[in-house]
Structure 1
Amino acid sequence: MTLTLTELGFYAGALFILFLTPGPVWLALTARALSGGFRSAWPLALGVVIGDALWPLLAILGVSWIVSQVEAFMTILRYVGAAMFLIMGFLLIRNAGKTIASDSRLTRPGMWAGFLAGLVVILGNPKAILFYMGVLPGFFDLTAIGWADIAAIMAVSMVVPFIGNLIFALMVDRVRLVLSSGRAIRRVNITAGCLMILVGILIALL
């Protein structure tokens, strides 16, 4: 491996700063954590990891043409994801006064839905590859790296946001547990529903 720990460390720092910038992933995590707790949110963070590995790889290999080749599929995926978030959001608002345990529709179909939501949020924005195309050359000489270097870059790209997303979801979950009264549950569910609807709109417009 030709990359140094210092280079990877600076790159990890840049990714952390990027993570601190609010966006659709934050909104989706907040909505899932508010509606179903950490158990509902962590699969979404896991789904995001797939995109966090894919976009840097495509940027490194310089095969942006792949994005255009699968553009139709990406468009379908984006609108399916947008519809999924809109439906979940409306269901939460409609059943705002009910707890998660009393209305399974609010979390159906569970962890798999969370994973797919994370996948849609991160893959629904092909513009991410443009970000990596602009950032990676500033940290690494992409003409001199090998497969071990690529694996290291992908690992950092996956681990840093994943840990950050898990911590963020856990923090939202703790806040949710404090709000245990009926009125608080209604407010939390309405907030979560609105956030899900907002994520759906953002995905559709990206």
Structure 2
Amino acid sequence: MKAALSVLCALLLLCASTAAEAQEPRRDRLPAWLYEVRFAVLSHDVDDLWSGDRREGGIDWNAELVFGREGWSLLRGTVRPQLGVSVNDQGDTSKAYAGLLWEFEADWGGFFATGIGAAIHNGELDTNDPDRKELGSRVLFRIPIELGVRIGGHHRISIAFDHVSNANLADENEGLDTLGLRYGYRF
């Protein structure tokens, strides 16, 4: 948990300093490796989605960096690497993750994104506690899905979902879903 909080603090400091410099975005002053910073408030372990029953509670505070201003073109969309952390406010499962994000953006500003990646978490692998998920392995697959709209040139609002599980590679595989609102600032 301390490691996740340290990563979150580092990401927030990086984002704050980069956003402060970007009041008047000038392409020559922005880091070429950074495309977007994102912050979200997510409901933790949402009931009746991909993972089934809710066992854990609280809110996940999420911060994410999306890299590669140019990205790679694929199927009328763009693929970019991402790195993020979600910290649960009740001490339940928190996670750090990395992956590839594919995004399609329409001319009018609406967008859809999905991807694949890996997450490392501090949750239970195998437990008898009815209020905790049995996630089966420390490293999980992560699938994000996002639907939103760009507002102006830099701001974005979206509904964000993600699912983590071990894809039945371990005996226990309850998985974990989050769902909530995300704000993004694109450089």
Give the shorter-chain TM-score range. under 0.3
Q: Which has the larger radius of gyration?
A: 1
Which structure's residues are more often strand, by fraction? 2
Which structure's residues are more often helix, by fraction? 1
TM-score by length of 2: 0.25
